[in-house]
Structure 1
Amino acid sequence: MNTTRHTSAPPAAGWMIFLLIAVAGLFYVKWFPYYHRAFTAAETHSIGKSILMGTAASPPAPTLQAALDYAWAYGKAIWQAMVLGLLLGSAVQALVPAQWVARVLGRNGFGSVAAGGLLAIPGMMCTCCAAPVVAGLRARHASPGGAIAFWLGNSVLNPATLVFMGFVLGWHWTALRLVLGVALVFGLGWFLNRLVTPQESRAADEQLAQVVMQQAEGSMFARWMRILGRMAVRLIPEYIVLVLLLGAARAWLFPHIGPEIGNGLVWIVAFAVAGMLFVIPTAGEVPIIQAMLSLGMGVGPAGALLMTLPPVSVPSLAMLARSFRPRVLAIVAVTVVLFGIAAGLIAMGLGF
């Protein structure tokens, strides 16, 4: 006689809790504030000062104070979204049936990529705040392409950022971001899914079967708290350290900004790489580019930052180092840089 007791709550209860957190959290942290911020952008053609260096022409020198100042400013901008990202990243593992994630995002065709990109649009998170959710999806065997499309789509296809960009920088910048953003999110996701081998697919199927069995047993709430605790302990310390280091390194990544930074290919490549490495809050690229253009920088480097500042950063890549193979993250980083270079060349060619 089998005396094993399954104490997990029914799937419907998990879904209800997850959707409540997602909808209420996104409304409070993203949707409602951005709705009002759009009116500010339309009226003032600004959404605030550049978090990189304010109105100055150069970032502060690399010091401990510079690191602390940037980390504090950045932390104030993103802490609510980071908490929400951790809650959702753990909840998708504990509350959402693993079969659903695998069915929607786990296949290696374009369908999972399309689903990941479309699900990202209402998220509107920066690359680091979306990373815990991506880690949760990968833990439930979302395909590499589907998870990457969700990750990049949060920042690159953020509808609020596109609106801010139109009012602040001009709608031609929005069009450039949207066209290249769609190609980056869905094209890169499709390519990464093409790299999945049959052996990797079989291994993922076997691991999924084990996850389904584990999810059917024990307390759903206790499982959620354990996963949340593990994610917080693993992700937050390395995240803080890397943000501090980048805050101190601003002066090395971004030199004195002025007319001397023109549309040469060297500058476009340099700013594409710097933008890929650096970390900013959601829509932070808009005031950064606005400030740099006002100081006389060329549109080529500005176009490079348009495509490389939002999607990835050193902290977000580090946060997902256990969720993807190193070659996948390397391909993502290189591809983002290439799209940044393309954006800079297009902006220069079209006379932005």
Structure 2
Amino acid sequence: MNNTLRQPRVALGWIVFLLIAVAGLFYVKWFPYYNRAFVAASQHSIGKSILMGTASSAPAASWQAALDYALAYGKAIWQAMVLGLLLGSAVQALIPPRWVARALGEHNFGSVVNGGLMSLPGMMCTCCAAPVVAGLRAREAAPGAAVAFWLGNTVLNPATLIFMGFVLGWEWTGLRVVLGVLMVFGLGFAINRMVTPAQAAASRAAVAKLVDEDDPGTAFARWIKLLGKMSLRLIPEYIVLVLLRGAARAWLFPHIGPDIGNSALWIAAFAVAGMLFVIPTAGEVPIIQAMLSLGMAAGPAGALLMTLPSVSLPSLAMLAKSFPAKVLTFVAVSVVIFGIVAGGIAAAVF
């Protein structure tokens, strides 16, 4: 394509992408969270626990429990999910593949740092960030960089850290920040180290092919097509798994009270349950607040601090085609380990 025609079309793609990102994040995330920070500071609360409200246990497993949770969760995140799908498809259609490769394509620590830092303005929950991560991987972002972006959205969310400080105490924020930085950048680096030279060469070849085939003249038509494909693939499995998680609340989280102590067994059990469960952005804050108020020990709460927001069974399923199974398994197991470490620290210090 003639370069004089290509450049304006590429620029238009960038402008549309940035408008969607900035306007969407302002409406869905930045402005609402700005207001909620004042609520957290004045009331030391940001609402009821989505897990079980004010009760001491989650409702018994049933279709009604599944529907109730799915509706509550859907109401909390649907706007962010729409934004995630828009951005995930736009990354593939409107952003030149060479830019994604330059920022996130190298299999080194630099791309991990870029991915983690780029995640901070997003502040999305694990499922809403998943479509963007899928889009980055489709543009051959390095797996470690994509994982850093994915985990950074949830674990290093600036708004959640502020809410946490006002509601739970700043010592909890400090614990989250220290372990969150290690999780986001450490796991990203470890995953990039898992890439073999042959896989790295294949990724570079795929980037070159994307660049050769990229046509800004068809970008917007391709965007609509990708948006439809991503929605049809991701949304149905996401709904099914959220329903199942909602029904299984009573199994994952038993009766909460003083009998939930700081034993290693409880900490490990809550770390696993938190990794599997799905919550909206900052949902861990009222959940932990409610559990602590019912007498649960700090150890299991510390485990949930790291595992509830990081990943979930639905988000892992949504990214099953974007990463090798060993990478997702490594992420899930590592998140549980970080939860156990956080629980041990919380039990000893708080």
TM class by shorter chain equals over 0.9
What's the CA shift string for 1:210-264, capped at 9, x where partnerless? 2112222652110000110000000000000000000000000000000000000
Distance in structure 1 (CA, Å) of the matches to 2:269 and 2:184: 22
Q: State the AA in 2 paired with 1:151.
A: W
Aligned residues of 1:8 and 1:216 also touching (Cα < 8 A): no
The reply on whether 1:84 has 2:83 as its aligned counterpart is: yes
Aligned 1:312-327 pairs, distance under 5 A:
312-327=311-326
Show the counterpart of 1:335.
334
TM-align CA RMSD = 1.4
Show the counterpart of 1:133.
132
Aligned 1:54-69 pairs, distance under 5 A:
54-69=53-68
Show the counterpart of 1:301.
300
Show the counterpart of 1:106.
105
**What SS class does the counterpart of residue 322 from structure 2 fall into?**
coil
Aligned residues of 1:9 and 1:219 also touching (Cα < 8 A): no
Q: State the AA in 1 paired with 2:15.
A: M
Q: Structure 1 residue 25: deviation in Å?
A: 0.3
**What SS class does the counterpart of residue 263 from structure 1 fall into?**
coil
Q: State the AA in 2 paired with 1:212.
A: V
Distance in structure 1 (CA, Å) of the matches to 2:292 and 2:247: 23
Aligned 1:127-276 pairs, distance under 5 A:
127-216=126-215, 218-276=217-275
Q: Structure 1 residue 9: deviation in Å?
A: 6.2
Distance in structure 2 (CA, Å) of the matches to 1:293 and 1:91: 42
TM-score by length of 1: 0.97
Aligned residues of 2:268 and 2:340 also touching (Cα < 8 A): yes
Aligned residues of 2:94 and 2:216 also touching (Cα < 8 A): no
The reply on whether 1:51 has 2:50 as its aligned counterpart is: yes
Q: State the AA in 1 paired with 2:280.
A: P
Q: State the AA in 2 paired with 1:31.
A: W
Distance in structure 1 (CA, Å) of the matches to 2:348 and 2:314: 33
Distance in structure 1 (CA, Å) of the matches to 2:7 and 2:229: 20
Distance in structure 2 (CA, Å) of the matches to 1:180 and 1:191: 15
**What SS class does the counterpart of residue 322 from structure 1 fall into?**
coil
Aligned residues of 2:10 and 2:216 also touching (Cα < 8 A): no
Distance in structure 2 (CA, Å) of the matches to 1:207 and 1:348: 48
Show the counterpart of 1:283.
282
Q: State the AA in 1 paired with 2:187.
A: L
Name whichever of 211-220 and 292-301 sits farther off.
211-220
Distance in structure 1 (CA, Å) of the matches to 2:202 and 2:104: 16
**What SS class does the counterpart of residue 227 from structure 1 fall into?**
helix
- Aligned structure 1 segments of 4 or more residues deviating by more than 4 angstroms: 6-9
Structure 1's unaligned 5+ residue stretches are: none
**What SS class does the counterpart of residue 256 from structure 1 fall into?**
coil
Distance in structure 2 (CA, Å) of the matches to 1:246 and 1:98: 36
Distance in structure 2 (CA, Å) of the matches to 1:211 and 1:229: 20
Distance in structure 2 (CA, Å) of the matches to 1:103 and 1:286: 36
Distance in structure 2 (CA, Å) of the matches to 1:169 and 1:77: 21
Show the counterpart of 1:39.
38
Higher helix share: 2
Q: Percent identity?
A: 73
**What SS class does the counterpart of residue 223 from structure 1 fall into?**
helix
What's the CA shift string for 1:155-198, capped at 9, x where partnerless? 10000000000000000000000000000000010111111111
Distance in structure 1 (CA, Å) of the matches to 2:168 and 2:207: 46
Aligned residues of 1:52 and 1:288 also touching (Cα < 8 A): yes
Q: Structure 1 residue 7: deviation in Å?
A: 8.3
Show the counterpart of 1:346.
345
* Alpha carbons of structure 1 residues 82 and 259: separation in structure 2 relative to 1, 3 Å: same
**What SS class does the counterpart of residue 273 from structure 1 fall into?**
helix
Q: State the AA in 2 paired with 1:67.
A: A
Distance in structure 1 (CA, Å) of the matches to 2:347 and 2:245: 28
**What SS class does the counterpart of residue 154 from structure 2 fall into?**
helix
Aligned residues of 1:9 and 1:220 also touching (Cα < 8 A): no
Show the counterpart of 1:118.
117
Q: State the AA in 2 paired with 1:78.
A: I
Aligned residues of 1:8 and 1:219 also touching (Cα < 8 A): no
TM-score by length of 2: 0.98
Distance in structure 1 (CA, Å) of the matches to 2:211 and 2:21: 23
Structure 2's unaligned 5+ residue stretches are: none
* Alpha carbons of structure 1 residues 218 and 301: separation in structure 2 relative to 1, 3 Å: same
Distance in structure 1 (CA, Å) of the matches to 2:282 and 2:216: 42
**What SS class does the counterpart of residue 219 from structure 1 fall into?**
helix
Distance in structure 1 (CA, Å) of the matches to 2:147 and 2:289: 28
